[in-house]
């Protein structure tokens, strides 16, 4: 299957290529992309099909800069991403009522504002996780953002917790009836604290004072400020990946109590808010992905929809025109506020029929109708990824 993407964004300064039709992208998001493209350090911008307006930088954008980095082009949930594991369990093995399994997962994994009582229990039992945990927190005191000392205990307690918003834990099945476990989360409060402190510092630098949007403030290569930000950012990215590993180990433990003979298969653990140093057009660049996954050749990734609509396991095609990137999900088509005004609890129940999940006012803003069509988003990037599996949601845990 072929498509007519990418499309160049009119009015952009640095080359800005879109895997989305301009008439389907809100004007505010297009203006935001143009502002990003006009930064003097930007080599190019790539726009994914799940694009929508974000804080400072657009969600669904990939920004390649020369000798600079913008913290807002990563976002405050540093290292947010997805993890999935394939199981040997078939849908025919599942009970008709998944309520007990959902309750057990919710009891084992802290969700919303909850946290572990100190270190997550599974870390104490799993040597590999304990080694990774001790190594990560052995570097906590070396973080360079100010006033983080009193966040140490909270960061420990939240490592292995879900959070709220669009974060989730799911039990899904592919077209062959094979069950997969999946979850979505990031660096929790510590990532937010790190990001906000560095964004504040960037806004005060002289070279950022004349920017069209101060939220796009950058750090410059060769400065102590950029070194400090990247040092802390890489730590937060490691925290986010470990957070997902700990949660998945916990969920696997719960699942194994229900299905003792389960055998674990392929695992995928990938960021979609992060920074990497990469080379394109023969130029060494700092690439920020905010709501985008890496899609290098044969690299596995995960593209989720909204609660109840399922997800895709994909394999990257290594398309350098997109800076080897793809979308991170379906993408919102309306704000949380508008979703709450538009939809009711009854709407939520109808749109999540057949899925074991919360169906109350607290998650109406996460209703499938507030998101773009996942199938359309996948169809728009057939030159970026190939589909390995289509996952159907059976059970969804939300914060």
275-296 pLDDT, tens digit each: 999 999 999 999 999 999 999 9
Q: Is 272 labelled as part of a ligand binding site?
A: yes
Tell whether 87 is covered by a domain: yes
210 and 122 within one domain: yes
Q: Write out pLDDT tens, residues 198-250.
A: 999 999 999 999 898 889 999 999 999 999 999 999 999 999 999 999 999 99
Question: 98 and 175, same structural domain?
Answer: yes
User: Is residue 108 domain-resident?
Assistant: yes
327 confidence band (pLDDT: 50, 70, 90) = very high
Which of 220, 182, 186 has the alpha carbon at shortest distance from 74?
186
Supply the pLDDT for residue 307: 87
Are 146 and 103 in the same domain? yes
Residue 176 lies in a domain: yes
Q: Is 7 labeled as ligand-binding?
A: no
- 1 lies in some domain: no
Give the distance from CA 154 to its chain's centroid. 21
pLDDT at 212: 83
Instruction: Report whether 305 belongs to an annotated binding site.
Output: yes
Residue 316 known to bind ligand: no
Could you tell me if 360 and 264 lie in one domain?
A: no
Over range 357-383, report the average pLDDT: 96
Q: How far is the CA of 17 from the CAs of 11, 91, 203, 251, 303, in angstroms?
A: 12, 41, 27, 39, 20
On whether 146 is known to bind a ligand per the annotation, the reply is no
Whether the per-residue pLDDT at 1 is higher than 60: the answer is: no
Q: Does 391 fall in a domain?
A: yes
Residue 294: its pLDDT value, please? 98
Is 328 a catalytic site residue? yes
* 180 is a domain residue: yes
* Mean pLDDT across the chain: 96
Check the annotation: does 329 bind a ligand. yes
199 and 91 belong to one structural domain: yes
Q: Are residues 263 and 345 in the same domain?
A: no
The CATH number given to whatever domain includes residue 102 is 3.90.1860.10
**Integer angstrom CA distances of residue 31 from 12, 42, 56, 75, 360:** 9, 16, 11, 18, 36
pLDDT in tens, 74-131: 999 999 999 999 999 999 999 999 999 999 999 999 999 999 999 999 999 999 999 9
| Structural domain boundaries, residue 357 | 334-370
Whether residue 207 lies inside any domain: the answer is yes
Give burial (CB, 10 Å; 0-12/13-18/19+) of 377.
buried
Residues 217 and 365 in one domain: no
Residue 2 lies in a domain: no
Ligand-binding annotation for 386, yes or no, is no
Nearest to 103 by CA among 171, 165, 158: 171
Instruction: Convert the pLDDT of each residue in 121-166 to its tens digit.
Output: 999 999 999 999 999 999 999 999 999 999 999 999 999 999 999 9
The answer to whether residues 326 and 341 belong to one domain is no
* 218 and 172 in a common domain: yes
**Average pLDDT, integer, range 31-55:** 96
- The candidate with the shortest Cα–Cα distance to 179, out of 82, 102, 262, is 262
Candidate list 43, 52, 271, 328, residue with the active-site label: 328
Q: Do 309 and 356 lie in a common domain?
A: no
Tell me: cis bond preceding 6? Omega within 30 of 0 counts.
Answer: yes
- Expressed in angstroms, the distance from the first to the final Cα of the chain is 38
Same domain, 286 and 360: no
0.85 exceeded by the pTM?
yes
Check whether 170 is labelled as a binding-site residue.
yes
Does one domain contain both 267 and 347?
no
- In this model, does residue 369 exceed pLDDT 50? yes
Number of domains in the chain: 2
Query: Is 113 marked within a binding site?
Result: no
Q: Closest Cα to residue 42, out of 277, 272, 246, 285?
A: 285
């Amino acid at each position: 299957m072929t498509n007519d993407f990418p499309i160049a964004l009119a009015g952009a300064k640095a080359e800005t290529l879109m895997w989305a039709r301009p008439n389907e992208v809100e004007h505010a998001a297009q203006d935001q992309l143009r502002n990003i493209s006009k930064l003097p350090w930007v080599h190019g911008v790539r726009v994914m099909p799940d694009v929508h307006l974000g804080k400072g930088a657009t969600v669904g954008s990939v920004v390649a800069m020369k000798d600079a980095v913008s913290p807002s082009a990563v976002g405050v949930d540093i290292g947010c991403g997805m993890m999935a594991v394939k199981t040997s369990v078939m849908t025919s093995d599942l009970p008709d009522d998944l309520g007990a399994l959902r309750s057990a997962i919710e009891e084992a994994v802290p969700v919303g504002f909850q946290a572990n009582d100190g270190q997550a229990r599974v870390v104490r039992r799993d040597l590999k996780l304990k080694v990774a945990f001790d190594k990560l927190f052995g570097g906590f005191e070396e973080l360079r953002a100010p006033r983080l000392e009193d966040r140490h205990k909270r960061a420990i307690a939240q490592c292995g917790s879900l959070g709220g918003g669009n974060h989730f834990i799911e039990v899904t099945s592919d077209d062959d009836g094979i069950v997969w476990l999946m979850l979505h989360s990031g660096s929790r409060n510590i990532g937010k604290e790190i990001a906000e402190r560095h964004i504040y510092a960037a806004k005060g630098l002289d070279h950022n004072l004349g920017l069209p949007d101060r939220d796009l403030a950058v750090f410059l290569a060769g400065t102590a400020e950029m070194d400090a930000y990247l040092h802390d950012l890489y730590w937060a990215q490691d925290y986010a990946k470990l957070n997902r590993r700990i949660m998945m180990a916990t969920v696997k433990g719960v699942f194994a109590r229900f299905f003792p003979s389960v055998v674990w298969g392929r695992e995928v653990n990938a960021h979609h808010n992060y920074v990497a140093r990469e080379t394109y057009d023969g130029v060494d660049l700092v690439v920020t992905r905010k709501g985008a996954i890496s899609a290098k050749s044969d690299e596995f990734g995960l593209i989720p929809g909204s609660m109840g609509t399922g997800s895709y396991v994909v394999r990257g095609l290594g398309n350098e025109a997109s800076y080897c990137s793809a979308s991170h999900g379906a993408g919102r088509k309306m704000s949380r506020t508008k979703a709450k005004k538009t939809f009711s609890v009854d709407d939520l129940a109808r749109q999540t029929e057949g899925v074991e999940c919360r169906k109350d006012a607290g998650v109406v803003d996460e209703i499938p109708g507030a998101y773009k069509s996942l199938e359309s988003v996948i169809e728009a990037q057939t030159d970026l990824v190939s589909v390995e599996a289509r996952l159907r949601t059976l059970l969804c845990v939300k914060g």
